[in-house]
Structure 1
Amino acid sequence: MTSSQRPLTRQVQRLYQEHQRWLLSWLRPRVDCRELAADLVQDVFIRVLSAKDAQNQLEAVREPKGYLATIARRLMIDHFRRARLERAWLQALAEQPEAVSISEETRAILLESLCELDAMLAGLGPNVRQAFLLSQLDGMSYKLIAEQLQVSVVTVTRYIAKATQHCVLFSLGAER
C-alpha cells in the first residue's frame, strides 16, 4: 500500500465503522433479503474505495448517510434491473423448443451481453432509446418510427444519431 492510499483506507475504514450498520438496516427492508442487503453494503464500500479520485470525493462529502444511500440506491437499481433482465431471458429460453436450447456458457455470455446492452441504453432518454430499438431491432423506417412516437422524421434522425453516438462512446469507454 502506498503512502497516498493510507489516508483513503483510513477514511473508508472509519466510514464503514460508523455507517455500516445503519446502511444495512436501511437496505434490508428495501431488498427484503438480509444476505442481499449485506452484499450491497459491501459493494457500496468497494465502490467508495475504488472511485476515481476517491480521496477528494470523500473529503467533499458533507452527509455520509446521504452519500452512502445514493450509492446503495444505484447498486440496488442495477441489481434489480439485472435480475429482471435475467428472469425475462430465462423465460424466453424456457419458451424455446428443446432443439434450440444452448449451453450454460453461451447462456452466461448472452446474459452478460444483454446486461451490457441494457446498461448502455439506460443512458439514453426513453424516446431516443425506443427510436433506436425500433430501428435496429424491428427494422422500422424512420417515417414509421416518427408516426409511432408522434414526432417528425428529422427528430427521429436526431434520435438515431444521438443513440449511435452514445453507443460508440460507451463502447470506447468499455475498451479502456
Structure 2
Amino acid sequence: MPPLVDSKMPHAKLHFLYSDHHSWLYTWIRKRLDNHFDAADLAQDTFLRIHSRHNIDKIKEPRPYLATVAKGIISHFYRRKSLEQSYLNYLSTMPDAAASSDEYRLILLQTLEQVDILLDAMPSHIKKVFLMHQLEGMKYKEIADEMGISLISAKRYMKQALIQCLSIMEDDILETT
C-alpha cells in the first residue's frame, strides 16, 4: 500500500485516503451488510467520521483503521435499525390516530436513538437505577432493596443519570441557537 501523501493539507490527505481505499472499504462493508445502498452510505459515513476527527496524520495502517471505524458505524447502524423496528412494531399496535405524520415519526426515532446512546454511555448501575425508576415506576427505596444498595446510593445514581440527561438536552439547545 502506498503511504499517504506528505502534504500538510488534511483535505488532500483525506482525498488520497478516499481515492486509495474507498472501493476496498465499500466492498468490505457490503460483505457484512449484503446491501449495496447501505454499504455505500456507511462507507461515506466512515470517511466523514475520519474527516471530522482531524486525525488523518496519525493513520499508519489505513485499511485496519478504516475497518475499525467502519465496525463502529455498522454497529450504530444495526442498533438504529433495531430501535426503528421496535418502534414500528409498537406503532402497529396503536390505533391509526396515534400513528402520526412521517415527520413526527422521524423526530421520535431520532429522540429514541439519542436516548439509546445516552443510556449506553451510562455505567450499568446508574442505567439500571434510571430505567427502574423511569420505566418501571419504582421508588428509590424499592430500587435500593432490589439492587442491594443504600437508599442514598440509589438517589445519587439517579441524580447522576438526570445530570447526564440534562447535559445532553443543554447541548441540543445550544446547537439549535
TM range (shorter): 0.7 to 0.9
- What is the aligned partner in structure 1 of residue 160 from structure 2? 162
3-state SS of 2:12 partner: helix
Q: CA RMSD in A?
A: 2.1
Deviating runs (4+, > 6 A) in structure 1? none
Match of 2:11 in 1: 9
User: Within the alignment, does 1:149 sit opposite 2:135 as a pair?
Assistant: no
What secondary structure does 1:93 align onto? Answer: helix
Distance between the aligned counterparts of 1:85 and 1:49, measured in 2?
A: 27
The residue aligned with 2:170 is: 172
TM-score, structure 2 normalization: 0.83
Q: Percent identity?
A: 34
The one-letter amino acid paired with 1:42 is Q
Give TM-score, length-normalised by structure 1. Answer: 0.84
Question: Are 1:43 and 2:16 counterparts?
Answer: no
Q: What stretches of structure 2 of length at least 5 have no aligned partner?
A: 1-7
Q: Secondary structure at the match of 1:151?
A: coil
AA partner of residue 122 (structure 2) = L
1:99 Cα offset (Å)? 4.2
Aligned residue pairs: how many? 168
Q: Secondary structure at the match of 2:9?
A: helix
2:125 maps to which residue?
A: 127
Higher relative contact order (CA 8 A, sep 6+): 1
Task: Tell me how far apart the structure 2 counterparts of residues 12 and 99 of structure 1 sit (CA, whole Å).
Answer: 48
Residue 16 of structure 1 and its aligned partner are, at CA, apart by 1.0
